[in-house]
Structure 1
Amino acid sequence: MLLKIYLKEIKDCFRDRRTLLLTVLLPVIMMTGLTFFYEKLVSDGEEESYKLAVNEEFDREVEDIFSGFKNIELVKTANPEETLQEGKVQAALILGPNFTSDIENGEKATATIIGDSFGQKSSNLKNIVQNALGVYEKSIISERLEAKGTNRNLVEPFTIEQKEISDQNPNANLLAMLIPLILAIAIGVGSSPAASDLFAGEKEKKTMEALLITPVKRSTLLFSKWLTIATIGSVTGMITLLVVALEINLLTENLKKAVSFGDNAIVIVVLSVLVSIIYAMFTASLLMLTSIIGKTVKESQSYSTPVMMLAMFPTMILSSIGINELSFQHFAVPILNLFSLLKELVFGIIDYEHILITIASNLISMIILFIIGRILFLKDKWVMN
């Protein structure tokens, strides 16, 4: 009987075009947009073309500073800052009136870089110009030291080298935030329509009473409906993971370089699918409660909105936590543990202790939520309008 009810609910869900659209197509479209947004975000801007506004009297010698940057076009204008404000260029470089002569005479020269730090292209161009001027400054210092017969090591007594604790691509951390966020949103968006329709929808359409008078235990009805929501969420999660993986592998460059699982690729993929299924089951338990409490589909959706918003908090919490700083509580708290575990997997780390803690905490939470849902479903007050 459980199997028959489960198959009936699955068929009804996928027969409804509206639910199918919200369950499968909408999450895929959203995740595709997020993937390309993050790909654009991590781009270093080397392939972009830029326009830099400079003074009309820009010296030829200073122009040589940017000769190695083929993607930068110098736009000479009487008022570089005004040209920037008009949106004709991405940044402006204003040099002092006697920039070259001041340098030759050993006097202090000024250079002002103007741009918009909130604009990606402008910010990239500002960094490029600053680096180019930095190299030019060092070359002048070296020439002055050599002219005076001074060893350059006197002003540069030591060099600083920075080394990351992990040899992973720096974009891996961003990807470790992207994938769990995509997965959590997709499962929430995919499961919500089905959850609202299976409980609140039945009450609103006055068909719940007909179900309750059938010779089927309420616990069986409850479990079959919960299993339906969990199945739809799992399918949505797996489709999302597949689509995102294909898009990263085939349509991106920077994000693709950040992924390197080596010999553990199959294990990591299997564990990622397992985590998505467990999270879908946990989400199904939460959405089941919101649908039982809601008297109408609209009311149920109002209750379920905060559930989907919970996925935003782990992103903020873990964004400033390194992979080696994750501890027990990060894997013991539901929802947070999804982000923590997938962050480890993206970095190619397989810690079975953390995996077991994550699975156990989600299972315990699911059981508690299911018991609460069963208590409510056994009372007519919550299952009938």
Structure 2
Amino acid sequence: MIAMFAPMIIIMGVLGGILPSANDIFAGEKERKTMEALLMAPVKRTQLLVGKWLTISTFGIISGLLSTLAFVFSVRYLTTVLNDALQLNGHFTTFILSFLVTLTLLALLGAMVLCILSLLASSVKEAQSYTSQIMMVAILPYFLLMGKSVHELQPSGFLIPIYNVFALMKQLLYGVYDMQSLVYTIGSLSICTVVLFAVGYMMFTKSRWVLGKG
């Protein structure tokens, strides 16, 4: 049961960490009319965007890290069979590193998605309506993977962002360590993050998105 629910708990921990700050850091500032003063500071817009993005991502990484640590401690001290599976062939360190790298990339990607949605919104309430739909889509892969065993996962599935995170975690939790799956997951998340950052940067350079409709 822990192996079944852990991926959703950890991933929702990451997304839950970035959601409040993402809604407030763009849409909230537009609503409070403080974005104009921020843009008047002698700082490039690229630096502002990167600073905000990394701030949001940090909350997600910390939240995901705490969720991962809670999961690891519960497995180490409250279970026996799953604890043995996580230490299969001495891969416990690989398990932790793969988890942390994937969660970091997930936090960066999720933060950029929510930054874009927050730029689209004119108020925090509007941003919340957008992000609530994204959260529902984000957990959809969990239900799609519930009926699949780790041996039924196709390599092409690890090229699909978010879906590949759930799939990779499912492999790791059942003691399957596939370097190809890890490389595909890291590569696809990195590429999507770069593309979305370019979109977010273009929006952040336009006053209509940064300052709102007013």
3-state secondary structure, aligned to 2:161:
coil
Specify which of 140, 158, 177 is matched with residue 350 of structure 1.
177
The one-letter code sitting in structure 2 at the alignment partner of 1:283 is G
Displacement of 1:247: 2.7
User: Do the aligned partners of 2:15 and 2:110 also contact (CA within 8 Å) in 1?
Assistant: yes
* Aligned-partner Cα distance in 2 for 1:373–1:337: 23
* Aligned-partner Cα distance in 2 for 1:332–1:362: 8
Alignment match, 1:301: 128
Q: Which entry has the higher C-alpha Rg, 1 or 2?
A: 1
Displacement of 1:186: 1.0
User: Do the aligned partners of 1:181 and 1:311 also contact (CA within 8 Å) in 2?
Assistant: no
* Aligned-partner Cα distance in 1 for 2:69–2:106: 17
Alignment match, 1:269: 96
Alignment match, 1:258: 82
Displacement of 1:258: 2.5
* Aligned-partner Cα distance in 1 for 2:11–2:91: 24
User: Do the aligned partners of 1:331 and 1:337 also contact (CA within 8 Å) in 2?
Assistant: yes
* Aligned-partner Cα distance in 2 for 1:240–1:261: 17
Alignment match, 2:72: 245
User: Aligned residues: percent identity?
Assistant: 35
3-state secondary structure, aligned to 1:340:
helix
Q: Deviations along 1:27-72, whole A, 9 cap, x unmatched?
A: xxxxxxxxxxx4xxxxxxxxxxxxxxxxxxxxxxxxxxxxxxxxxx
Specify which of 200, 203, 206 is matched with residue 376 of structure 1.
203
Alignment match, 1:197: 24
- What are the residue-to-residue correspondences of 1:29-178 with 2, within 5 Å? 38=1, 175=3, 177-178=4-5
Matched, 1:318 2:121: no
The one-letter code sitting in structure 2 at the alignment partner of 1:309 is M
Specify which of 192, 208, 224 is matched with residue 51 of structure 2.
224
Q: Which has the higher contact order (CA 8 A, sep 6+)?
A: 2
The one-letter code sitting in structure 1 at the alignment partner of 2:134 is V
The one-letter code sitting in structure 2 at the alignment partner of 1:257 is V
* Aligned-partner Cα distance in 1 for 2:201–2:37: 19
Displacement of 1:311: 2.8
Displacement of 1:345: 0.8
Could you tell me which runs of 5 or more consecutive residues in structure 1 were left unpaired when the two chains were aligned: 1-37, 39-173
Displacement of 1:269: 0.9
User: Do the aligned partners of 2:75 and 2:82 also contact (CA within 8 Å) in 1?
Assistant: no
* Aligned-partner Cα distance in 1 for 2:140–2:59: 24
Larger proportion of helix: 2
Could you tell me which runs of 5 or more consecutive residues in structure 2 were left unpaired when the two chains were aligned: none
The one-letter code sitting in structure 2 at the alignment partner of 1:226 is W
Name segments (4+ residues, structure 1) moved above 3 Å. none
Displacement of 1:243: 1.4
Displacement of 1:314: 1.0
- What are the residue-to-residue correspondences of 1:196-215 with 2, within 5 Å? 196-215=23-42
User: Do the aligned partners of 1:377 and 1:383 also contact (CA within 8 Å) in 2?
Assistant: yes
3-state secondary structure, aligned to 2:91:
helix
Q: Deviations along 1:105-132, whole A, 9 cap, x unmatched?
A: xxxxxxxxxxxxxxxxxxxxxxxxxxxx
Larger proportion of strand: 1
Number of residue-to-residue matches in the alignment: 209
Matched, 1:285 2:112: yes
Displacement of 1:331: 0.3
Displacement of 1:312: 2.3
Q: TM-score, normalised by structure 1?
A: 0.52
User: Do the aligned partners of 2:145 and 2:167 also contact (CA within 8 Å) in 1?
Assistant: yes
Matched, 1:365 2:189: no
Query: CA RMSD for the aligned pairs?
Result: 1.4
Q: Deviations along 1:81-120, whole A, 9 cap, x unmatched?
A: xxxxxxxxxxxxxxxxxxxxxxxxxxxxxxxxxxxxxxxx
